[in-house]
Every structure is written in C-alpha cells, then in structure tokens.
Copies of this chain bind each other. A is one copy, B any other.
Amino acid sequence: MLDERKAAILRAVVQGYIETAQPVGSAVIARAADLAVSSATIRNEMAVLERDGYLTQPHTSAGRIPTDKGYRFFVDSLTPPGLLAPAQKVQVRDFFAKAHGALEQVLHDTSQLLANLTHYAAVVIAPPAEGATVRSVQVVGLGPRTGLAVAVLANGAVEKGTIEFDHDVGEERMAAATAHLSAHLAGMTLAAGARVPATGDADTDAVVLAAGRALHRDPGADADHVYLGGASRMAAAFDAVDTVRQILGVLEQEYVVVGLLREVLDRGMSVSIGGEHGDPPLSECSVIVSPYLVEGEAAGTIGVLGPTRMNYPQAMAAVAVVSQRLGRRLSEG
C-alpha cells in the first residue's frame, strides 16, 4: 500500500498528465500539490513509485507518466463518484425531459448525449429482447413467398424478422397466424414463440413457426442492438493516425464492442484501463461501463471509451448520471 504522500504525488501526476498530456516533472508537483516538500523529495518518492510500477518515464530526463497500474490506483481512490458540472446536469435533465420516441431513437440519442458530455466515444447497448413481454405480434405478407414478422415489446422495442416460405401463403393464413400468435404470445416473452401450440391447420402452423423463429434470437447470439456515438472523438484523442485507424476499425465491429463491455462487466469492473481488457488495439484506451436498471433489473449497458489518459472523474460521473436517468426513463414506459 502507498503511504499518503506517495498517493498524493501519484494522484497529482495522473491529474497533471490528464490535463496536459505531457510528462509531469517533480518541480510542477512541488509547486502544485500542497505538500510542503521540495522537488528533491518528490523525485525520491517518484523513483519509488516507478520501481513499484505506478509510473514510468518515456525517456530519461523526462517527467513521469502513469502506467495502467497508476491509473488504476487513481481510479480506485476516487471514492466519491464525482460530480457533473451544473451546465451538464441541465443538459442531461433537458435531454431526458424531451426523450420521447421509440426505444431505438432514445438509445441512439443517448449515445450521442454521452459522447457530447464526455468528448469520448459512447456506447449504448439495448436491453435484450428476451426480458420484455410482448404487447403485439403481427405477420405481414410482402411478396408471394416472403413475409415480415413484427413484434412490439412492452419496453417500446420493435423486433422484426423476415420469413421465407417454400410455397405461396395467402393473406388468410397470415391473418390466422397473426391472431393465433397474438392470443398466445401477448404478455409472454419472445422466447415463448417456440412453444405456441398448434392450430390444427398445417399451413397456418408453418407460418406461426416461421414467425416464432424469425423473432426469437438465442440469448447467446450477439444480436444485441448497439448504438455508438462520437466515434470521431477518438481521432481527437490520439495523434498517431494509424492508432486512430485501428481503434476506429475495432469500433466498427459491433460484436467486439459488445464483447468488450460484457467482459468488463463480467469481471465486476466499471472501469477497465488499457491492457486490463484483452484487445491489443485498444490497449491505449480505457472503458467505463455501467449497467442501467429498468424496473430494478439490469437491462442494458452504457459505456464510454476514451484514451487511457481520459478524464476519469468527469467521465465516470457522466456515465453514472446518464445510466441512472436512462434506466428511470425506460422504467416509466
């Protein structure tokens, strides 16, 4: 464990580096931090912090920058979750006051909001369809052998899936299937679609079955809906153009992002720093995640992805507030 003075110095280095993106020297700390000690003492302490793996030097005779371990200590020592600037609080409040529209729209806009608040990339993962009960199901014919199954869930989500038939199906069959599905699925989850009893009419049953399959995704399948906002912010955070390219490439693959957030949460973390998550191209990035609760249950996840030297207190506050308000907004229907 670090004694109080080392901790203060470490915090000062992290804070300084977050602000300036420049290595922090002992003199700056002696001046800024209100430890009444000289720069020489700071130097001695910093040498120890480096030996213990909290700090590193880009080269001899430069200041120190935090290692992942240093950031980790910094983040863990932030017990009060940090506060949002008043203007930002207002921004969040206004946003959720006006956040009407379908689930999709709300989640999309939320990702933008979070990106704007933090100036980093933001991710919002929709609540899984399994959790919500069905309010309405419908089978609609499109072409002679194709149809569309549409379900509206209680949380405002609209799930859809195409159906292909091997022979023509008339409107009456679709209507029959719609009625049958409505009767048996309303109030249940989509997973019940596979267990709808037979009607007795083989053609109708085929439609019902196909619709059930089209709407239901396996819980394991990563068909989660993901909303990514502010990816371009990553370009501002790094100055090596191919770092930017790599990160953006990763962000474009939704399943990687989803996997990343899920993995971080599985480890019970809310902040993952640099190499703590596995992805090599993201080793210069940190992730802040939080589940949001809808009616008391963890529904989806929101997160922020930024450079390791991101402004943790501010970003953590933003994530906390937005996840809380989003959960509340989705709970009230």
Contacts and interface: CB of A to CB of B under 8 A. Distances in A.
Contacts of A236: 245
Nearest to A145: B333
7 contacts: A100-B162, A102-B160, A138-B150, A143-B333, A146-B333, A148-B152, A239-B241
A232 interface: yes
Interface in A136-156: 136, 138, 140-144, 146, 148, 150, 152, 154-156
A142 B248 CA distance: 37
Contact of A244 (B104, B140, B244, B333): B244
B249 A142 contact: no
Secondary structure at chain A's binding surface: helix, strand, loop or mixed? mixed
A231 interface: yes
Interface residues of A, number: 42
A148 B142 contact: no
Contacts of A242: 235
Contacts of A230: 252
B164 A152 contact: no
Nearest to A134: B140
A85 B135 CA distance: 49
A189 to B, nearest CB: 16
Contacts of A100: 146, 162, 164
A142 B239 CA distance: 47
Contact of A158 (B160, B164, B232, B235): B160
Interface string A230-261: 11100110111110110011011000000000
Copies in the complex: 2
A148 B158 contact: yes
Interface in A112-166: 135-136, 138, 140-144, 146, 148, 150, 152, 154-156, 158, 160-162, 164
A131 to B, nearest CB: 15
A101 interface: yes
B245 A231 contact: no
Interface string A284-303: 00000000000000000000
A327 to B, nearest CB: 15
Nearest to A250: B232
Contact of A138 (B141, B152, B162): B152
Contacts of A135: 140-142
A161 B102 CA distance: 6
Contacts of A248: 231-232, 235, 248
B332 A143 contact: yes
Interface in A167-197: none
A285 B146 CA distance: 40
A230 B161 CA distance: 25
Contact of A249 (B161, B232, B332): B232
Interface string A24-60: 0000000000000000000000000000000000000
Contact of A140 (B101, B142, B146, B152): B152
A41 B63 CA distance: 58
